[in-house]
Chain A
Amino acid sequence: MSFFTIIKYDYLQRTRSYAFLITLCISVAIAYTFVPEPNANYSTIRIADYIGEYNSAWIGYVTAIMTSLFLSLIGFYLVNSGIKTDIETKVGQIVASTRVKNFSYLLAKTLSNFLVLLTILGIIFIMSVLLFFLHNEGNTFEIFQFIKPYILIPIPTLFFIAVLAVIFEVFFGKYTIIQNVGFFFLFSLLMLPNRYSEKNFSLDILGSKMVMSQMEEQVRQIADIKKAKKTSIGYVIGNVKKAKKFQFNGVVFTSSFVISRFIWGLLGLIMLFITSMFFHRFNVKEKISIKKDPVIIHSSSIIKDIRFSFAIKPSINFSIYPLIKTELLLLIRKGKKWLWLFNGLGMVLLTFLPLQISHQFVLPILWFFQVSRLSEITTKEITNKAHFFTFASYKPISRLLVSQIGAGILLVLFLALPLLIRELLNVNFFSFVSILLGAVFLVFFAALLGIATKGKKLFEVLFFMITYANINGIPFVDYFGALTHTNMYLSKLSLLVFTLAVFTFTIRKHQLKRS
């Protein structure tokens, strides 16, 4: 009974938030793009020059595959703070004093993660059915063509992601950066293409390769081409060439594939069981305090009475320099000191790797390393309960918010400094200005999402998606000018930064007025 109670209330606690509502809205918006409109200049799944007729099978399978990719990508970041929340709220200490077993607790957390992801999946599923009716080309509606792929593709994947989120939290709970970046690389690894074979289909946790292989096979039969090359999955922008249509009637899942989906679930449970043997059971503070120097207060000083009559009177000083300094200090001290070695390594790579590689790959990854820092720019006062001081400070917008954003920009630019110098030496002013604007964009983006959602998650998830897209060379999300662009690029980017800045200051001002 208590097991299901933990799941229930953990789920309710996570979903009853403004940030989750925004996440659902964004999920609906993204799901809408899974099946492009007939005149859209992008594609999601395309085999050579072919896409499927917009029938139940095509929409069902395409949205199921896209959901598996999309929710695997962001789902981890949405749910990887269940145990952390229990630590912060001290609920964990109560849990630790109960009879609940480590495995039961971790399984409850996993299932709660899974339910959160299923909720989003449910919304996307409904959206996919709506998309069928929206783009209907006279085909009959077959609900089973929606249900079958959703059950066999995203659901087992999401369960495994839910398990991974818990495992990462147990082993890297104190190292948020390792969690974020570690999953980033793991996901990139999962997305690597490999040969189509029964064995590889079973090893494909995302569950998309088998469907893609059968789609290609069907195209090969009608198009009389030996190999349906240029199969694309994910968003491909600028795909203006009109696609030909083929009749896609769904996929026959082999029994080995179906079994493999269950085995992934079983493997997840086994991994969770092994992890439960290493679970700290909220004995976290003690471990930390051993390392720290104990605070010593001399008992002789305690009896002293408080007298302020002689205290020096303070003088007025409205300079924001001390604020910027402290904000920068807070950003720098976030996380473990040794993790700065990665930043140092990133800066060394920016100095010595070929310019294009430095710009397109190293810079976004190095900036993504700062995700925990940037996501706290405008949220740390809430999470640390210091907002009573900061919101009641003298001119909180023109002094404090400016300092927070200024410190963030300084940090991001400092990390990009080697690249900026190289671009200057190469007289590449376009790239130089793009990186400057990109840094400002990134900080305002983090600040705005932090202010609007009063949390870190949405920024972390979107930043992850953008970085992943950056590395895959998608021009639409290239906010730091790594790819080739038209002359209008800098104007558009400046306008975007300006818009973000206006929204950031306006929403914060509105919040302070409404509080």
Chain B
Amino acid sequence: MKLEIQNVSKKYSGNKYGLKDFSITLKKGILGLLGPNGAGKSTLLKMIATVSKPTEGAIILNKNNIVKDANYMRKQIGFLPQDFGVYPNLNAYEFLKYMAALKGIGGKDITTRITQLLENLNLIDAAKKPIGSYSGGMKQRVGIAQALLNNPKVLIFDEPTVGLDPEERVRFRNLITDLANDCIVILSSHIVSDIDTIADEVAVLKNGVLLLKGQQEDVINKVRNNIFEVSIPKDNYNSFKNNYLIVSTTRKSGNLTVRYITNNPIENSVKQEANLEDAYLYLTKTM
């Protein structure tokens, strides 16, 4: 199983690029796609999911160019879009059977598989109710269920944890880890904590361009030895902000404890262990 994205660009009117000359090769495992809003994450995922077509470049799955043969990808993909909808007049069973038919799967066991998915996603109690009466989190889980319906070999999740409560997020992360043994998973988010615990590799995008791709450790190495924490009076915050890249701020008894990135720390600063969030902020703010 190999997915190659070769020099892919998506150009919009007015000579604007949603994605520019993007190349990456993926094998089984989890790729975490990080980037601020408008970085091109959803644009890339939609092209891989065959919802949208690249203006230039090729997307190759197991030597098949899916830009030309979209149906090859469609047979083996599971896609959870960022802002998707459902038909409110259908219940979860009906909607998932419809999705199964759209994906070209069925047979006598399909109802059993749907039941298993609904049970696992804690939707079985509401499965016969119209989806229009579901909460946001429940709709998101229906979306996850449809992505998993066809036992996909390529799984694409665009901001999958939106609407899920903390407990559900943990369970979702466990699910992704479980699935990644057998397929390629691409997970996009701008919440670093959704990705840092599970992703084998991380890619950071900004303004439609790939800034960096690699193992988490390689990405973190970009800022290792450059993360510091210092306590400053509140009044000094604005001038501090103008001179340093701040990662986070915590209030402590009238002062502010600031975590920041620099080669040249101020006096009394304490060196900290770098993490993915530090590296992500460094890359997106400075490159």
A residues lining the B interface (CB < 8 Å): 289, 292-293, 295-298, 301-320, 322-323, 326, 329-330, 333-334, 380, 384-395, 399-400, 513-515
Contacts and interface: CB of A to CB of B under 8 A. Distances in A.
Contacts of B146: 389
Interface residues of B, number: 65
A395 B71 contact: yes
Nearest to A301: B122
Interface stretch (B17-25, B82-90, B192-200, B228-236): B82-90
Given A330-B87, A330-B90, A322 B120 contact: no
Interface in B117-133: 117, 120-126, 129-130, 133
Given A308-B178, A313-B151, A326-B90, A394 B126 contact: no
Interface of B: 46, 49-53, 70-71, 74-75, 77, 79, 81, 83-90, 94, 97-107, 109-110, 112-113, 116-117, 120-126, 129-130, 133-135, 138, 146, 148-151, 167-168, 171-172, 174-175, 178-179
Given A295-B133, A315-B107, A322-B98, A384 B49 contact: no
Given A301-B122, A313-B151, A392 B50 contact: yes
20 contacts: A295-B125, A295-B133, A295-B135, A297-B123, A297-B125, A301-B124, A307-B120, A317-B105, A320-B101, A322-B101, A326-B90, A326-B94, A330-B90, A386-B84, A390-B102, A392-B50, A393-B74, A393-B102, A395-B104, A515-B51
A333 B87 CA distance: 11
Contacts of A333: 89-90
A319 B105 CA distance: 9
Given A314-B100, A329-B90, A304 B122 contact: yes
A385 B85 contact: yes
Contact of B85 (A312, A320, A384, A400): A384
B86 A394 contact: no
Contacts, number: 166
Contacts of B52: 515
Contacts of B110: 314-315, 317
A306 B89 contact: no
A384 B86 contact: yes
A315 B109 contact: yes
A375 to B, nearest CB: 16
Nearest to A388: B81
Contacts of A514: 53
B170 to A, nearest CB: 9
A410 B101 CA distance: 19
A496 B123 CA distance: 47
Contacts of A297: 122-123, 125-126, 138
Kindly list the 6 A-B residue pairs having the minimum CB-CB distance in the complex, ordered from nearest. A385-B85, A317-B106, A393-B102, A322-B101, A315-B107, A388-B81
Contacts of A380: 87
Contacts of B84: 385-386, 388-389
* Residue among A308, A329, A395 having the largest count of chain B Cβ atoms under 10 Å: A308
A292 B175 CA distance: 32
Given A326-B97, A384-B85, A394 B103 contact: yes
B138 to A, nearest CB: 7
Given A306-B171, A326-B94, A385-B85, A314 B50 contact: no
A394 B71 contact: yes
* Residue among A306, A308, A334, A515 having the largest count of chain B Cβ atoms under 10 Å: A306
B129 A293 contact: yes
Contact of B116 (A312, A323, A384): A312
B106 A315 contact: yes
A301 B106 contact: no
A306 B174 contact: yes
A304 B175 CA distance: 12
A400 B178 contact: no
Contacts of B109: 312, 314-315
A334 B89 contact: yes
* Residue among A296, A313, A388, A395 having the largest count of chain B Cβ atoms under 10 Å: A388
Contacts of B50: 392
A393 B150 CA distance: 12
A326 B175 CA distance: 29
* Residue among B79, B89, B100, B110 having the largest count of chain A Cβ atoms under 10 Å: B89
Contacts of A312: 109, 112-113, 116
A306 B99 CA distance: 21
A386 B85 contact: yes
B161 to A, nearest CB: 14
Nearest to B110: A314
B120 A326 contact: no
Contact of B133 (A292, A390, A392): A292
B88 A306 contact: no
A295 B129 contact: yes
A315 B53 CA distance: 28
B125 A314 contact: no
Contacts of A302: 122, 167-168
A302 to B, nearest CB: 6
B125 A296 contact: yes
Contacts of A298: 125
Contact of A311 (B99, B117, B138): B117
A485 to B, nearest CB: 39
Contacts of B106: 314-317, 319, 322
Given A314-B149, A315-B109, 12 more contacts: A292-B130, A295-B125, A304-B122, A315-B106, A322-B97, A333-B90, A334-B89, A388-B49, A389-B79, A389-B81, A389-B99, A514-B53
A306 B101 contact: no
Given A295-B129, A314-B105, A386 B122 contact: no
B101 A326 contact: yes
A317 B87 CA distance: 22
Contact of A314 (B107, B124, B133): B107
A292 B102 CA distance: 29
A308 B51 CA distance: 26
A86 to B, nearest CB: 18
B175 to A, nearest CB: 4
Contact of B74 (A296, A310, A326, A392): A392
Contact of A308 (B70, B120, B122): B120
B113 A311 contact: yes
A314 B126 contact: no
A448 to B, nearest CB: 22
A400 B94 contact: no
